[in-house]
Amino acid sequence: AWDSLAVSGPEGAWQGFGAPLVTVRDVGLPQAHRTRAALALASGTADFDDNALAVERGDSTRFLAVDVASGTRGAAGDVASGGRHVWDARAVTTIGAARWEGAISGRGAAATLESGEVEDGRAQSGMARLTLTTAPAQWTVGFARALDVHTSSGGPLIDSRRDAHENVYEAGVRHADVAARFEWRDAAVIRQGGDLFEARTHAWWGALSAGGRLAGGRLAATVGGGRHDVAGGVQLAPGLAWSAGRAGAHWELQGTRLLVPVWTDLAPGQAQFLQRTWAGRAAVSLARGRLALDADVTGGSAEHRAQLVAAPLEEQWLRAGTREDPQRYDFVLAHAQLRVESPIWRAGVEPFVLGDDRRAPEADPRAGARAWLDWGFHAFQRDLGVRVRVDGAAVGRRTATTGDLLPGYATVGGAVLLTLEDATFAIRGFNLENAVRQEPWEETATGGLAPMPRRQVRFTLTWRLYN
């Protein structure tokens, strides 16, 4: 409730096998050393019901947090019912030169489609890390473990259970602008019922990074290498990142090689393979007066691209399996966000465009945008805050699993927010035009494309508590 998010480009050389194209990290904002909590209660159409509670206390040296959330929903679109729950606990303490971190979490989700397919998923994960600062170096060792269980049945799905686990051991050291890390991973996936299989793998990765000043900014060069059972021999990945900033402006350039082993949940007849991508990202953030602009371009070229089937349930595309794209895939994704603010109103527009070397779009659109405008004021000696928001989105054409080309569309939403002290009550609406649209996947009961949810309305009460 008090954190923010930071988005960065590809970091394949440092992160190793399985590194994503874009990395999203949580950023802790400075807080006073006191107990803080947030309670959220939500309900809405389609029997939507969701509740969450977060409690935390501490600062950057000592910290304890516990979060719990659960929710259920009724019929909407091709989903007949669903539910989820999440809990996690995190702790940090500093004793002398040693910083100890630990976390444990559990989550689950279930859903039933109108056509009868049922999915139930449960997962647990935990981690522990020790960081020791001894001048002039900082040393880190850590361990993480994750468990995952999926079951599915109903409709055309034969009863099946999928068990997966992964262990990660890591160590690292940093001295001024030089850093190094090493990790070892072992993982296994076992499916019982339906398409039986058992897959196990081991991998290690090491990376060295060094940085310095260049052209008024900071340059970091990284080289990483490792071995995965799928890849066979040692694979290498270089990486470069440069960033610079001044008052009201910030620039970033990144480039690296991404290696993603695809070794489990494969389509029938598909052998294990290694997805290889050269990718880069350029980003700029500008702010002047009431205007702010964020823009970025991410592009690359991928060999042996992993392709998944579009489906509403995770178990459906897992059981359908991953296929290897026999052709090279070249892509460029451009995104921007322009915002303008005044004391009482705010507006913005956020478009994106995807260019690739394919004739038609896939399940995801090649272009889209969203725009918003909100206006607010205070009353009763500023005790009551009122904001009214209108937003719209445009979604480009998509290709369904049947091969049909779905037309683009526009949709409208809105919200009203009332704030009294530390409590906020919000009414939000989605697809206010109540249009009938189709998902890009088939509904097995009818053989036609599944419907998207119609108009939705949500009511949420959020209350921040201190001490």
Q: 265-316 pLDDT, tens per residue?
A: 999 999 999 999 999 999 999 999 999 999 999 999 999 999 999 999 999 9
Asked if residues 423 and 39 have their Cβ atoms less than 8 Å apart, the reply is: no
Question: Which whole number is the average pLDDT over 95-123?
Answer: 96
Distance CA 464, CA 360 (A): 47
Distance CA 32, CA 30 (A): 7
Q: 305-319 pLDDT, tens per residue?
A: 999 999 999 999 999
Question: Which whole number is the average pLDDT over 430-442?
Answer: 94
pLDDT band at residue 29 under the 50/70/90 scheme: low
Q: 216-231 pLDDT, tens per residue?
A: 899 999 999 999 999 8
pLDDT at residue 35, rounded to an integer: 83
Q: 229-246 pLDDT, tens per residue?
A: 998 889 999 999 999 998
pLDDT band at residue 2 under the 50/70/90 scheme: very low
Q: Beta partners for 58? A: 63
Residue with tokens 């704030």: 419
Question: How high does pLDDT run on average in the chain?
Answer: 93
pLDDT at residue 22, rounded to an integer: 85
pLDDT at residue 31, rounded to an integer: 61
pLDDT at residue 457, rounded to an integer: 97
Question: Which whole number is the average pLDDT over 14-18?
Answer: 95
What percent of the chain has a predicted confidence (pLDDT) above 70?
97
pLDDT at residue 205, rounded to an integer: 98
Structure tokens at 63: 């910290």
pLDDT band at residue 175 under the 50/70/90 scheme: very high
Question: Which whole number is the average pLDDT over 150-156?
Answer: 93
Distance CA 282, CA 376 (A): 35
pLDDT at residue 297, rounded to an integer: 96
What percent of the chain has a predicted confidence (pLDDT) above 90?
83
pLDDT at residue 344, rounded to an integer: 92
pLDDT band at residue 23 under the 50/70/90 scheme: confident
Residue 57, CB-side half-sphere exposure with 13 Å CA sphere:
5
- Scored b (16 or more CB within 10 A) or e, 153-178 reads bebebeebebebbbebebebebeeee
Please give the full DSSP string across 212-254, using - where no structure is assigned: EEETTEEEEEEEEEEEETTT-SEEEEEEEEEEEEETTEEEEEE
Q: 403-432 pLDDT, tens per residue?
A: 999 999 999 999 999 999 899 999 999 999
Residue 1 pLDDT exceeds 50: no
Three-state secondary structure call for residue 13 = helix
Residue 467 pLDDT exceeds 70: no
pLDDT band at residue 33 under the 50/70/90 scheme: low
pLDDT at residue 16, rounded to an integer: 95
CA 446 to chain centroid, in Å, comes to 32
Question: Which whole number is the average pLDDT over 378-394?
Answer: 92
User: In angstroms, what CA-CA distances link 371 with 4, 82, 262, 330?
Assistant: 22, 30, 37, 29
Please give the full DSSP string across 289-349, using - where no structure is assigned: TTEEEEEEEEEEEEES-EE----SSHHHHHHH-BEE-SS-EEEEEEEEEEEEE-SSEEEEE
pLDDT at residue 359, rounded to an integer: 79
Nearest Cα to Cα of residue 191 among 129, 264, 126: 264
pLDDT band at residue 192 under the 50/70/90 scheme: very high
